Structures are given as structure tokens and as C-alpha cells.
Structure 1
Amino acid sequence: MIKRIFLLMFLMLQFSFLYAGIVILNGLTHTYKVENGKVYKGKIGIENTGSTPQSVKLFLQDFTYKADGSINYTAIRTNNRTNGDWIKLNTNLITLKGREKTEVFYEITVPNQPADPGSYWSVIIVEPIEEIKPSNDKAGVNITSVVRYAIQVITDYEAEKTKPDLKFESIKVEKEDGKQTAKIAIANNGDLYCKPTVAIEIYNRKTGERLGNYSSIAMGLLPQTSKSFYIDISKIPADHYKAVLIATDEEENAFALNVELEVKND
């Protein structure tokens, strides 16, 4: 459960993140509505909360993820919807003094004809550079591991001409931290980024009586990717039920599926 919560926090990217003295100050998802041939400017706020200098490198990668929790970072142009070639950073390396803040700027230059309508994206990797320090206790060196931060830069081109196409891939009921949880895998088979919320309406299989409506948190879902949405249904006793799954994005596009649901005691 704890690992899943950290993963959700990483994909939502709505908060500042701290590791080894480095904080990203202005969120890890940057979205733009773009037009042909125009230039858009953005920035990344970075702070060194430590007391010693910290070097940081920045570079671009393509990025996808799946509902099984796998996340893939690959070279630019690996993804056919990459915007990595559109983005130029004003620097690839900075060094922050202790307690210092700075901003790294980037420009997005949209091609005159970017191709099909929809979302294009890549990530700016922000990686603290850790020094390799000699060990006083034994031969060799001590290498300190670091965490890289992935800032999604999502550009929506002619978004009005397309929309998400959400598909329910699977539903499982599993116990997490002693709570019965519906784990619902959803894929975005469309061409547009969206941020859906998933709800589950549960009904008595014999009488049709509605027993409850439960919802997930909203999470961003890029085209041709999938995620697992988690819903606490621990108030529902063990039995067989009928249920309706409803995924709704921020534009009120709704996708529904009728399912049979089994909640077990163990």
C-alpha cells in the first residue's frame, strides 16, 4: 500500500518533492494548449534545502507507463507523440549553494504542422549529481544513490478535434492494509491527455438495491498509457454483487461498464 501511494504521488505530480536537499517548487506536470508555429515559455523552480552546494543536471526523455506499475523512460523520438524536439532548455547543468533557489527556463517551439490533433509530451529529468566520496574505512568508494525527478511537459494541439477514449482493462478486489480495495485498470486509447476519476456503484445482485457509490482520486492519463485506480470498498460485506464502473474526465466525458463483483472475506 505504501509503495502504491508513493507511485500515485509521483504520477500526479502536484506537490513539491524532496530528496538530498533538492525540491521542485512549481509542480511536476506542466500543460499547455498550443498552436502551429508558436513559442511557449516555461520554467522549473528548484531549491537546495541543504546547507552544502548541490549540482543538478537536466535533460529530456520520452516517458510512458502501464497499469501494472511499470514506468519506461526512453530516448527522445522513441514515442511517436513526443514533443522532446520542440523543447529547448536554457541550461543542462546548475550548481546551487546551500539554501539557494533558482529557476531553469525552457521554450516550446511548436512546428508549423505538428501532425495529428491531440497531446504530445516528454519529461524533463532533474537529477542531483552526487559526489563519489572515498571511504576511510575500506578500499574503494562509497556511491550514494540519487532520485531523479521527471517533470512532464504536455502540449495539447487542436484538443477540440479529439478526445480521450478510456477502456476498462480489468477489475480486481484485493486487501490492502486490511481494507478491501477495488483495483481498476484503465487505458487511454485516445489521442488526448485527460485526468479521470473512477467511481463504482454497487448493487445487490438479487434485489437490485443500490448499496453504495465509491470514488477514486483523479489521476492524469496520457494517450496510449494505462493506470490502476484504487477505490476503498471496505464497507461492503463479503458477497457477490452487480456493479457499474464509471470513468469521468474533467470535460465530463463518461465511460461506463457493467461488471460482476466478488468481495471475499480473506
Structure 2
Amino acid sequence: MIKRMLLLMFLMLQFSFLQAGIVVLNGLTHSYKVENGKVYKGKVAIENTGSKPQSVKLFLQDFTYDADGSIHYTAIRTNARTNGEWIKLNTNLVTLKAKEKTEVFYEITVPSQPADPGSYWSVIIVEPVEDIKPSNDQAGVNITSVIRYAIQVITDYDTEKAKPDLKFESVKIEKEEGKQTAKIAVANNGNLYCKPTVSLEIYNRKTGERLGSYTSIAMGLLPQTSKSFHIDISKVPADLYKAVLIATDEDDNAFALNVELEVKND
């Protein structure tokens, strides 16, 4: 009996994932350089890859994140640098046939005088609407998987007067997926979105000899948010080192910090 119930739950889970067929086709970050008082147009391209019709709702939320991995979706106007009130979707609900594609259009109307130079942002949430059809004829647990997409809409205003201000918050050495990993928390205390990489230069503590340089992938960092940049240092022997952290954005602005780094065997 237990085996039958487990099999039933597995099949329901599998069926749910097969039906979760909504995908966003044109990226999850839409960026614009804007001027006051002007209107900009954009679109969200969606496809239903499933075998049944699917309704999808779209709505706006504010959005921030922290280096500990937490992500915060809140009502528009929660974030002081929201552009959610500037954005108007041409619809909040679409229904796609099986294998059908569609486009939802939006307009960004920039106020005649935004408060300050820098980046403003919000996210367009794309969420399948699940039709709930309760039935008393079937036993078991009905489990539904819903995949939501959050599309960042970033508007950069008067960027000549704005800049990122990157700050290193912490450095931890931890095992991740069997690899010794440097986890470096970086905050953007400035007012401009940027996409930095973090480099870790390691030196012999006694001789000052440079032993190697290791680099993270680039990640977007919104103002007043933070992220953890991960660097694989599995090839670095266990020891105590001097190191230099360098965060460099796409405009070659660099921020550096000297640290002591202890690499352990476990």
C-alpha cells in the first residue's frame, strides 16, 4: 500500500513538472538608459512549451537581495528607488495554446524630474495560473509545481552623476560541492547598477611571492544590495596567506582590500 502511494505521488510530481511549460524567451534583465520625461517601450516574450493551454498572469513588484542568499519581493513603493510606478503593462493576463508564443508589451514613462541620478528598478513577475479542479473521486495528494519568473527592469538616469560604490563585507572559506571555495560578500553602497567581478590575489605571507590570481564570474549588483561572489581555490594548499581582494566593474572602476586568508585542509 505504501509503495502504491509513493508511486502515485511520484507520478503526480512528474506530471506537474511536465506541465510546467512556461518560459521567458528574451532574458531576465532589461536595462535602459533613460532621460527625464521620455517614454520607452519594451516587451516580455513568453512561450508555452507544454501540451495544454496555459494562462499566465503578469504583475509588478519591488525587489532586493542580500549576500546571505535572501531575496525580497515586496509591493511597489516599498523600495525608495523603485520604477514600478513608471511601468505600464498592456495586459496582466494572457492565455497561450500548447506550443504558442506571445509578447506582452510595456511602456516606461520617466517622470519629468526623477529624484536623484542613478539606477531605478522593479521586476515584472510572470506566473502561470493553475486551474484547480478538486475531485472527490481520486485518492492521493495532488502536488503542483509552479515556476515564477522575475524580470528585472532597470532604468539608469543621469549616469554621469552616479556611480557604484563597492564594499567588501566578509570573506569565508567553505567547502561547496567538494571544492574549497572563497565566498566573498560584496555590497553596492552607491546609486548605480553595475556588474562586477571579484579577483583574489594570493601571496606567500613570509616572502611576499605572488602565488596566483583567481576570479569569480561577473554578477549584477543593484544599489543598496549585496551578493556573495564564489571563487574556486581548491588548488591552493592549506596555509595562512596574505591576499588582495579586487572588485572591478564593467567600466574598470576597481575597489581593493588587503586581507589575511587561512586555507584549511577540511
Query: TM-score of the superposition, structure 2-length normalised?
Result: 0.91
Counterpart Cα distance in 2 of 1:262 and 1:251: 31
Q: List gaps (5 residues or longer) in structure 2.
A: 1-17
SS of match in other structure, 1:217: coil
1:1-266 equivalences in 2 (<5 Å):
20-135=20-135, 136-138=137-139, 142=142, 144-266=144-266
Query: 4+ residue runs of structure 1 moved beyond 6 angstroms?
Result: none
Q: Is the 8 A contact 1:132 1:143 kept in 2?
A: no
After TM superposition, give the deviation of residue 143 of structure 1 in Å: 5.2
Q: Is the 8 A contact 1:132 1:142 kept in 2?
A: no
Counterpart Cα distance in 1 of 2:143 and 2:79: 32
Question: CA-atom RMSD, angstroms?
Answer: 1.3
Counterpart Cα distance in 2 of 1:133 and 1:201: 58
1:211-231 CA-to-partner distances (Å, cap 9, x unmatched) read 100000000000000000000
Q: Is the 8 A contact 2:19 2:51 kept in 1?
A: no
Corresponding letter in the other structure for 1:243:
A
Q: Is the 8 A contact 1:29 1:152 kept in 2?
A: yes
Counterpart Cα distance in 2 of 1:19 and 1:57: 16
Larger Rg belongs to = 2
**Corresponding position of 1:14:** none
Query: TM-score of the superposition, structure 1-length normalised?
Result: 0.91
Between the two proteins, the alignment pairs up a number of residues equal to 248
Q: 1:19 to 1:69 in 2, by over 3 A?
A: farther
Q: Is the 8 A contact 2:19 2:52 kept in 1?
A: no
After TM superposition, give the deviation of residue 35 of structure 1 in Å: 0.2
Q: 1:159 to 1:262 in 2, by over 3 A?
A: same
Q: List gaps (5 residues or longer) in structure 1.
A: 1-17
**Corresponding position of 2:5:** none
Counterpart Cα distance in 1 of 2:105 and 2:229: 34
